[in-house]
Chains A and B, each alone.
Chain A
C-alpha cells in the first residue's frame, strides 16, 4: 500500500463517518427529545441540523484537502476537530459513545502526530512517521480492548461465558439458517466459546506488535480480521471501518520513500530522554488501568448514595417479619440469612448476615436517583452497603436480585415493590 493510497483511504473513511454522523446525531436528538431526556447546551447546539451540517461540510472539505497532498497537518486537524464535536454530542445524546466510529479518528490522530514529528524534523511532506502513528494508535486501540477484558472481566473472561451471553443478547437463537446453527453451536459448546475468548484477548493484546515488522504485522492483522469476521458471524456486529484500516495499514510496506525523514543521530542523552518518556507513560498507563479496574470492582452506588445525596432515614417500623419475597431468618444464597428489615423512602432495606463480621444491607428501591448498582433490575435499584469487598457480596447480591425478579413474576417490579411496602407497613 503506498502512502497516497493510505492517506486517501483514511480521508475517505473520515468523510464517511462525518457524513454518517448527520443521521446518527439527528436520530439521537429526535429520540432524546421524544423521551424528554435532559440535553446539555453543547449537544443541543451541535445536534441542530444546520450546525451539524455546517460542521460536516467543513470537516469533509478539510478531509478532501488533507487527502489531496502529503503533509497537510492543519486540514487533517480540522477534520479531526469535526469528528470530535460530532462524536461528543452524539455520545451525550445517545448515552454512550459509538466505538466503531472511533477508528477513523484515532488513525487520523496518529497520522497527524506523525506529520507533526516529520515537520519538526524538517521534512513536512514525509509521511513515514504518519503511517507509523496510525498503526500505533490502531494497535493501541486493540491493546486497550484486550486490557479492558482482563481489567473488568478478569480471568473469567477467558471462560467463554461473555461470548455466550453476547450471542444470546444479540441474536436470541432464532433458528433460521446456517449462521443461526453456528451461533447455537457456539452458545451450546463452552469450549468453543472459551477458545474464541482466548484468541480474542490474545490477538487484541498483540495489537501493538504491528509495529515490530511486516511479518508480525501480517500475522496480527490476519488474527484480528478473523476475529472481526467471527464476531460478525456470531452477533451481526460489523466493525467495517477498523477492518478496512487493518487491511490497508496491516498490509502496508515499511519501505522508506525518498522523502523519508532521516532519524536524528541518536545520542546518549536523547536515548535517555526517550526511555524516560516511555517509562513515565508506561507507569501512568499502568496506574490508570489499576485505578479504573478498582473503581469498577468497588462501585460507588451505595456509599455514594449515602454520602452525596443522603436518603431520609428508614421509617421506624415495628418488627417487620416479611416483605416481598423475603422473611426474617430466611436463608439467602449459601451462607446468608435475613436479619432485619426496614422501610426506606422508595422501597425497603433487608439486612443480611453471612456469619460473624459479615453483614450487608440491600436496599430495593424505585426512588429516582442517578446512582446505579450492578444488581439493578431495570427501573428498580438494588443498592448494597457493607464493609465487605464486592467479590464477597456478589453472589448474595445476585441471589437477592434473582429473588426480587422471580417474586415480581413478570410484572412491573416498581409496582410490585409498592404493593410489598403497603403490605408491610403497619396500619395507621
Chain B
C-alpha cells in the first residue's frame, strides 16, 4: 500500500466513523461522536438564531465594558438561577456560564455603579446587525 493510499483510507475512515453516530449532550444536539478523537468539528456550523446576545457591564454614562475588566462585583439581584432575569438571552451558552462564574467568584465590595446587562443584536443576512435591546440582569457596584 502506498503512503498516499494509506492516507486516503485514513481520511475516509475518520470521516465515516465521526459522522456515523452523533449524540446529544447537555449543551446541544448532535454535539458528540462515538469516541474521542472522532468528531465532526461542527461547533460553529449551524446558522445561529436571528438574535445574538453578550453579557456586558454598562456604567452610569451608558458606556459598556467587558465583565472581566472588573475584579469586584456586588450585585443587588441574583445573577443566576431561576430568579435571574433575561434567562432567554444567554448568547453563547458556555461563554455566558464562564462570565457568570467569574462574577460569582469575584464577589466583593465595589465602588462604581454599573448594570450587568445582556445586550442583544438582531443579525440579518447581508446587513450589519442591529442593536435591539439591553436587558438588565442586576444593578451592581463594581471595581476594576
Contact = CB atoms under 8 A, between A and B. Distances in A.
User: Per DSSP, are chain A's interface residues mostly helix, strand or loop, or mixed?
Assistant: helix
A190 B101 CA distance: 33
Interface string A164-207: 11101111111010000000000111100000000000000000
A263 B10 contact: no
Contacts of A157: 45, 47
Contacts of B51: 402, 405
A106 B17 CA distance: 13
B37 A102 contact: yes
B12 A154 contact: no
Nearest to A165: B48
Contacts of B18: 140, 144
A278 B1 CA distance: 13
B14 A106 contact: yes
A140 B9 CA distance: 10
Interface stretch (A58-66, A89-97, A317-325): A89-97
A144 B126 CA distance: 26
Contacts of A413: 87-88
Given A152-B45, A169-B53, A144 B15 contact: yes
B29 A372 contact: yes
Interface centre among B10, B15, B18, B65 (most CB of A within 10 A): B10
Contact of A295 (B7, B20, B22, B26): B22
Contacts of B42: 144-145, 148-149, 151-152
Interface in A63-106: 83-84, 87-88, 91-92, 94-97, 99, 102-106
A132 B136 contact: no
A87 B36 contact: yes
A225 interface: no
Interface residues of B, number: 80
Interface in B24-81: 24-32, 35-37, 39-56, 64-66, 69
B31 A97 contact: yes
A152 B41 CA distance: 11
Interface stretch (A44-52, A285-293, A333-341): A285-293
A354 interface: no
A246 interface: no
B106 interface: no
A353 interface: no
A297 to B, nearest CB: 10
A170 B27 contact: no
B45 A153 contact: yes
B56 A174 contact: yes
B79 to A, nearest CB: 13
Contacts of A289: 15, 19
Nearest to A295: B30
A164 B123 contact: yes
Contact of A402 (B9, B10, B40, B50): B50
Contacts of A154: 47
Contacts of B37: 83-84, 87, 102-106, 108-109, 137
Interface string A105-143: 110111001100100000000001100110111011111
B88 A378 contact: yes
A114 B41 contact: no
Contacts of A156: 47, 125
B13 A91 contact: no
Interface string A362-387: 00000000001010011110000000
A263 to B, nearest CB: 5
Contacts of B35: 84, 88
27 contacts: A95-B27, A97-B32, A102-B37, A106-B37, A133-B10, A141-B39, A144-B19, A152-B42, A152-B46, A159-B125, A161-B48, A161-B123, A165-B123, A169-B95, A172-B119, A174-B64, A188-B129, A264-B1, A278-B9, A281-B9, A288-B15, A288-B19, A292-B30, A398-B50, A405-B51, A405-B88, A414-B82
Interface of B: 1-16, 18-20, 22, 24-32, 35-37, 39-56, 64-66, 69, 82-92, 94-95, 101, 119, 121, 123-129, 133, 135-136
The 7 lowest CB-CB distance pairs between A and B, nearest first, are: A105-B37, A95-B26, A172-B54, A377-B88, A281-B12, A288-B19, A136-B10
